[in-house]
Amino acid sequence: MANYAFKTEVNQLLNLITHSLYSHKEVFLRELISNASDAIDKLKYLTVSDDAFKTLSFEPRITVTLDEDAKTITVSDNGIGMDEEELADNLGTIARSGTRAFLERLGENERKASNLIGQFGVGFYSAFMVADHIEVVSLKAGTDKAFVWKSDGKSGFEIEPAVRAGFGTDVILHINDEGTEYLSRWSLEELLKRYSNHIAWPIHLVSKEKTYAKDPAKAESKTVDEQVNSASALWRRPKPELTDKDYIDFYKSLTGDEKDPLLWIHTKAEGTIEYSSLLYIPSHVPADLYIPTREQGIKLYVKRVFITDKELQILPPYFRFVRGVIDSDDLPLNVSREMLQHNRVMMTIQQATLKKLFSELEQLAATNPEKFKTFISLFGVQLKEGILSDWTNREPLLKLVRFKSTLAEDWTSLADYKSRAGEGRKTIYYLTGENEARLRASPLLEVFKEKGIEVLLGTDEIDELAFGGIGEYEGMQFKSVQQVDAEEELGKDQSEHKDRGEKAVKILKRVLGDRVKDVRLSKRLGKSPSCVVVDKDEFTPQYRKLMERLTNEPAPEVKPILEINAEHPLIERLVALDTRKELSGGDLATVQEIEDLSHVLFYEAMLAEGEHFEVPQDFAERLNRLLAKSS
């Protein structure tokens, strides 16, 4: 038996590891599994590269054995194993990684092929977070003497001869109080699935489970041995090998979504930075999309080992509906949150992934308009959120975003609007409201329709902000048709009825008083008698509603401006009534009728824009009186 002191200040370093490097102690299992996987990779590599091992045949397998009574968890592999010296060197010296030494001996290309996970010699020690005492029994392939390494992770370690049937390694953890939660088949299985599902080699979980019996005394225990990982790492496989069904099945197992995804994007990047990514866009809006605490849907892997889906927002928040996997060869396995956030490799991967996503969506718009339409109806709102929040990606976002429009049955792009508008026009008109049918019928659009001028229609709550947020598109300014100056350049001339119009304006101002900010002759009305707009630079009703919802406070009141159509018979009638009133010296019934008609013109205009009144009965009462008169 040989006794050794740890070669470096293991005590201090152990403390560091257990308290700062690993924020979650459960990663011990991930680390041991990846060591086992590395060991198998190394032996596999020897069987193809070293004549002495060419004849060796072995079926790679990692086994995790739980013994609840003995309070041990054992991670075994039939990989390359360690001899006495390697046990002392590799496990006795922290921060000195045998894997790294091995890698350095390999040539560049072989290194890439070998899929070795570990790069920093700290992983093994994470097991001391949950174990008081660890034994490592190992037989190196090609030798015939096994050894056991034992340590409490504090003072040092000892190594003595041992017995092991066949090459490979068993890491036996004597679980401490910190680790009791892992002494159950259920929790180990959950951990293995979460972190190691895509390790290339089969992982078996072996435990003794009690069979059910009515009389607990009669319950027997039997050994359960099942493979718990899928061992596929689908995203790493070449595209031609994979069928649609493979992709769909993987999506479902990844997300728990029962529906097929709308589309997926599978990328294998090679070059200075290597990574694979497989992104999915769901075919429905995830129920929790608007819950602020929702986690992003992308899992980060390093060499097939799951690292995190929380520590880092891989795509901008507006793409939080995207699900999938990114797997890199160029990040260390024990990369911490802080490292991830400032890591150059990670940033390059993030940028490339986002770029790829944008270009694939653009591609989809060009090649599969139907599918793209579905995408827009599901996630168009998110693109608009992006326009408002991500200035750096404004250009690709503006290419993708779509709106409803008066000149298109379906969605239209800004580029299409611009090309239909022609060179001369410098304005993109828009109208927002809750209901598409009501928008299409709005009196505000009458002249725009007559003149064939396209107006974008926004029915998403965010549209009001989005239009304002875009501000300008390739030299064209956005302008709401709800604002008074919108029609200035359209100029429908009402000079024929100017006199009548001016009279009506006076009457309405007198009757409506401070219900309105102003009454004016309209240049935009065709068939309707009246409409309401807001002053330029004042908040549109949609904007006020949105503000109220976001701030939970009443937005500053904006008084509407009533516009009237002097050509309309009701305006004609209003003026005629006023003349009759003058002649009759203020006949009460006529006065009442003037008031009723004025208010009804106002109410109707408000209704057309989807506004509500505090006392709708007043509208009904006045309308009823007018109707009764006309009979």
The region of 89-97, 222-230, 263-271, 616-624 touching ligand ADP under the rule CB under 6 A is: 89-97
Contacting residues for 409 by C-beta, under 8 A, at least 6 apart: none
Site for ligand ADP in 166-185 (CB under 6 A): 169
The residue among 240, 224, 228 whose CA lies nearest residue 204 is 228
Residues 6+ apart with CB under 8 A from 173: 28, 72, 73, 74, 75, 127, 130, 131, 134, 179
The contact pattern for ligand ADP, residues 196-235, with x = CB under 6 A and - = no contact, is: ----------------------------------------
Nearest residue to 305 via CA among 328, 323, 322, 324: 328
- Nearer residue to ligand ADP within complex by CB, 121 or 324: 121
Is 514 marked as binding a ligand? no
Closest separation between CB of residue 31 and Mg ion, Å?
Answer: 5
Return the bridge partners of 148, or none.
137, 160
Q: How far apart (Å, rounded) are the C-alpha atoms in residues 602 and 508?
A: 9
Q: How far is the CB of 133 from ligand ADP (least distance, A)?
A: 17
Distances (CA, A) of 345 to 240, 268, 348: 28, 15, 5
Least separation in angstroms between CB 255 and Mg ion: 29
**Beta bridge partner(s), residue 64:** 75, 205
What distance in Å separates the CA atoms of residue 309 and residue 604, rounded to the nearest whole number? 53
What residue has token string 């592999």? 77
23 is in an annotated binding site: no
3-state SS, residue 280: strand
> Which of 60, 92, 98, 261 forms a contact with ligand ADP (CB under 6 A)?
98
79 forms part of the interface with ligand ADP (CB under 6 A): yes
Closer CB to ligand ADP, 138 or 413, in the complex: 138
Residue 115 binding ligand ADP, by CB under 6 A? no
Nearer to Mg ion, 29 or 601 (CB): 29
State the Cα–Cα distance between residues 591 and 506, nearest whole angstrom: 15
Minimal distance, residue 181 CB to ligand ADP, in Å: 22
Which residues make up the interface to Mg ion (CB under 5 A)? 35, 118, 123
CB of 57 vs ligand ADP, minimal distance in Å? 19
Indicate which single residue of 99, 115, 197, 405 sits in contact with ligand ADP (rule: CB under 6 A): 99
CA distance 608 to 435: 11
Q: Which stretch binds ligand ADP (CB under 6 A): 104-112, 114-122, 571-579, 588-596?
A: 114-122
Q: How far apart are CA 361 and CA 469, in angstroms?
A: 22
169 binds, among ligand ADP, Mg ion, none (CB under 5 to 8 A by kind): ligand ADP
Closer CB to ligand ADP, residue 99 or residue 328? 99
Taking the C-alpha atoms of residue 193 and residue 364, their distance in angstroms, rounded to an integer, is 34
Judged by CB under 6 A, the stretch of 29-37, 336-344, 487-495, 513-521 that binds ligand ADP is 29-37
Residue from 10, 73, 80, 345 touching ligand ADP (CB under 6 A): that is: 80
Number of residues that bind ligand ADP (CB under 6 A): 23
Residue among 65, 90, 196, 207 that touches ligand ADP (CB under 6 A): 90
The reply, when asked if residue 324 is annotated as ligand binding, is no
Of the candidates 45, 79, 73, which has an alpha carbon nearest to the alpha carbon of residue 61? 79
Residue 6's closest CA among 210, 123, 153?
153
Backbone angles phi, psi at 164, to 5 degrees: -150, 130
Judged by CB under 6 A, the chain residues 35 through 74 that form the site for ligand ADP are 35-36, 38-39
Residues that bind ligand ADP (CB under 6 A): 31, 35-36, 38-39, 77, 79-82, 90-91, 97-99, 118-124, 169
